[in-house]
Amino acid sequence: MQPLGPEALRPHYSAFLRAGRVLLTGHSHQAWPDVARAGLQASFADAAEHVDDKWQRAAEVADGVRAAVVERIGGKLEQIALGQSTHELASRFLSALDLRRRPRLVTTSGEFHSLDRQLRRLAEEGVEVHFIDAQPQASLAARLAAAIDERTAALLVSTVLFETSTRVRGLGEAIAAAQRAGAQVLLDAYHAFNVVPFRMKELGPDPIFVTAGGYKYAQWGEGCCFLRVPPDTELRPVYTGWFSDFAHLDSARGPGPVRYGQRPCDRFAGSTYDPSSHYRALAVQGFFREHALSVDRLRELSLRQTGRLLAGLDGFDVLTPRAAEERGGFVALRLPDAAAAVQRLRARGVWADARGDVLRFGPAPYTTDDEIDRALEALRQVAT
């Protein structure tokens, strides 16, 4: 089957794509295809039929989500821990580190708010958090590597920066430095997952943790994130839920250390969750497969769309690299009073967002060239 283009895809997003509304927040929340509703209805139907016995079916659906992740990044199902947010999963990772023996964390100034906030709060409690300036990007990996020493517990860094859509190149150097020092590695791939192709084997040798989720480019919606766990990890999160040893739930409690399940992902499992997010994700994954929307195809579409945006932004302070191999799935520009510009664009039917003084445009597979051109014209109107 030939993959569908934006015009042919649009009828499948009828609930979100309304007349007069241009959605360019695809880097944050892409529209859900109409089949997502069927996924939510299936979740309700299983709960109504099976009541508390629904969890066996929910576990099967969760494995379907794991399979979708593995299809995109490689690895094995038992390496994919699921969570409601990347913050939840990253916090479990942090809780497993021996910060008394290794009190140093190395990260960048360009991490997303949830991780950045958590690390800054840890710094207030005495953890040595070294925020390496994300700019200039060309030397970022080398500067991260230089900041790692034998007191470093972990390196935490994005593969695509959320403010500028810049791919962090040369991460292998920083990863290798961390591994030589015995430090753990956590990569935030949220702005790569399902729009910038990558495979685990390309990132470097294990152990490497990777976290991302479906809220953005995968169209899975909220509550559907994952942590890829290295196969031989022995980390024991302090922040741990009862799903981490679900198989022994009926066993008598006794003395001794807290046990974890046999699979790598079990160590980072949580507790009771809303499974409807997984039903929705699985329905969307089926839609993507039906219409041949592979990651390579999505990347091809994205590069063409972001290229069209960049071509129309001459005269603006563009932060996103123009070279295709250097950019992620959206375009960012610096604009005075960017938040006000977002509201003025909204009044013209164009949905974008801002982070500080940075305005972001994120196309999606259903975004047409006409919509991109309309957004560019609206931007010129509000920026004058």
pLDDT digit string, tens, across residues 71-120: 999 999 999 999 999 999 999 999 999 999 999 999 999 999 999 999 99
What pLDDT does 252 receive?
Answer: 64
What pLDDT does 248 receive?
Answer: 67
- At 321-350, the pLDDT tens digits run 999 999 999 999 999 999 999 999 999 999
- At 197-206, the pLDDT tens digits run 999 999 999 9
Taking a C-beta distance cutoff of 8 angstroms, is the pair 288, 305 a contact? Answer: no
Q: Report all structural domains of the chain as residue ranges with CATH numbers, in order of start.
A: 6-26+294-382 (3.90.1150.10), 38-284 (3.40.640.10)
* pLDDT tier, 226 (very low <50, low <70, confident <90, very high otherwise): very high
d(CA 224, CA 21): 26
List the one residue out of 101, 24, 96 whose CA is nearest residue 264.
Answer: 96
For residue 333, what is the DSSP state? E
In the chain, % of residues over pLDDT 70: 98
Q: pTM for the full model?
A: 0.96
- Mean local confidence (pLDDT), 280-291: 97
* pLDDT tier, 246 (very low <50, low <70, confident <90, very high otherwise): confident
List the one residue out of 149, 209, 202 whose CA is nearest residue 185.
Answer: 209
DSSP string for residues in 119-142: HHHHHHTT-EEEEE---SGGGHHH
Q: Is the pLDDT of residue 48 over 80?
A: yes
Helix (H, G, I), strand (E, B) or coil at 232: coil
For residue 253, what is the DSSP state? P
